Structure 1
């Protein structure tokens, strides 16, 4: 798994967009006390269910891999001129 440039920032953006997506799909909002790892796993599973992200093999499902999948997803969703896609 090759790490993307700005992967941490992409994951942060994916969480923001993913939370809005989940809310629009009818899911309850995450509470303020929900951990980042729980949010990542929940959003990953929702995106897999909706066929927006290719599922990881069951033995490779861990938080770093889920973060990477979310980063790839949001990277594809962002417009080409978005600041997170600019090569530094």
Structure 2
């Protein structure tokens, strides 16, 4: 993990609030939810399993990553697939 991603800069811990403020300054206040509902996966032609979650998530990240301040996965929609759903990155 990079120093930026870890919350550390120059060896000192950066607070969540400071990192959020910096992200909002750079990208604006938009928060994008990653909500892979079963019906949405089906509409995208993806299976309702960990591989479908992964493809959906990667597609969303590729589209908005680096353009928004915050990404917020809907954890329940990943948790319903157990450890395989939680392992999606």
- The question of a shared fold, defined as TM-score above 0.5 by the shorter chain, is answered with no
Could you tell me the TM-score, scaled by structure 2's length? 0.27
Structure holding more helix per residue: 1
TM-score, normalisation: structure 1: 0.28
Higher strand proportion (structure 1 or 2): 2
Higher relative contact order (CA 8 A, sep 6+): 1
Larger Rg over CA atoms: 2
